[in-house]
Structure 1
Amino acid sequence: MIVSGREEVFPNAGEEALRQLRLQYRLTAATADAYFEAGFNVVLQDVILGPMLQEMAELIRNRPLYVIVLTPNQEEIAKREASRPKKGYGLWSIGELDRQLRDETPKMGMWLDSSSLSPEETAEEIWQRVWTEARI
């Protein structure tokens, strides 16, 4: 939502970009909490890498909280990305995102390799495992 003065988040981003990203996450968490407190089930979807995943989980006050991390392999991501009209990676390479996910992101919640799964199969796998593996 920042137009003037927006700093893009990219590998080795500066402090201003990270400040803006943390603001986005604080507002997202507050919105999720408001909907939850109004009686709604809330699903947040984003790419949250590195220690920011733990930060985001701590920003969300209401519980239960379930974290699901989809981890398709790089080849599958490239294949899916090639078939999309919209490109979602911007300044990031698939390899750098994958490295940060696997090497720097805390292993919390349920991690699911969805490389060989259709969207429907992914949803079913999440539904079967979420209650025992994703709660933090």
Structure 2
Amino acid sequence: MSMIKNENEKGIFLITGIMASGKSTIAQLLSERMDKSVHVRGDVFRKMIVNGEVGMSGTPSDEALEQLRLRYKLAAYVADEYFKLGFNVVLQDVIIGPMLQDVVEYIQQGPLYVIVLSPSPDVVAAREASRQKKGYGALDIASLERVLQSETPRIGMWIDSSNLTPDETVDEILKRVYSEAEI
């Protein structure tokens, strides 16, 4: 089922939120509802580093921030290139704090729609606890939630998906994306 307003329209849909907020699941489901689409997982660029990865922490080093910026730039470039070939692009990654505005600027194609998933910290903690592979490492949910709520620009569409199933979250995105999420 196509969710695009008309057959010739396409876009780049940037989905962000803290870890365990549902980004991967929602991005995949959203991309599956589009006729011609690609799901770009920003974290894949971090996973490409074989030796020398510097992880994020509560006070990240300059090298960690540079690696994060590179990851975001590569994801934006890939999104732009797929878009130029006629794909709808769903790009997802943890992009919080002031860097969200940087990533918006890295993306050159458009229209660009920003969707921020913001379930409650309790819901995120329950999701994280149920995962086999834990994603937080040196970071904690409370710190990331603080950055999301107090340092992330209030751009695009924010969704509290705490009480929504993944399909209901995608339905909510589809109802609101064109009126609330375009940058």
Tell me the TM-score normalized by structure 2: 0.72
Paired position in structure 2 for 1:128: 175
2:122 corresponds to which letter in structure 1?
Answer: E
Where is the strand percentage greater, Structure 1 or Structure 2?
2
Q: Which of 136, 144, 149 is 1:89 aligned to?
A: 136
How much does 1:89 deviate?
A: 1.8
1:30 corresponds to which letter in structure 2?
Answer: Y
Please give the alpha-carbon distance, in whole angstroms, between the structure 1 residues aligned to 2:119 and 2:126: 11
How much does 1:88 deviate?
A: 2.0
Q: Which of 10, 17, 20 is 2:57 aligned to?
A: 10
RMSD over aligned Cα, in angstroms? 0.9
Higher relative contact order (CA 8 A, sep 6+): 2
How much does 1:90 deviate?
A: 2.1
Q: Which of 105, 114, 136 is 2:152 aligned to?
A: 105
2:166 corresponds to which letter in structure 1?
Answer: P
Q: Which of 52, 58, 68 is 2:115 aligned to?
A: 68
1:118 corresponds to which letter in structure 2?
Answer: T
1:46-96 deviation per Cα after TM superposition (whole angstroms, max 9, x unaligned): 111111100001000001000000000111111111222221222211101
Where is the helix percentage greater, Structure 1 or Structure 2?
1
Q: Which runs of 5+ in 2 are unaligned?
A: 1-47
Please give the alpha-carbon distance, in whole angstroms, between the structure 1 residues aligned to 2:99 and 2:61: 15
The runs of at least 4 aligned residues of structure 1 exceeding 6 Å deviation read none
Tell me the TM-score normalized by structure 1: 0.96
Q: Which runs of 5+ in 1 are unaligned?
A: none
Please give the alpha-carbon distance, in whole angstroms, between the structure 2 residues aligned to 1:125 and 1:110: 10
Aligned residues: 136
Aligned to 1:20, the other structure's residue is in SS state helix
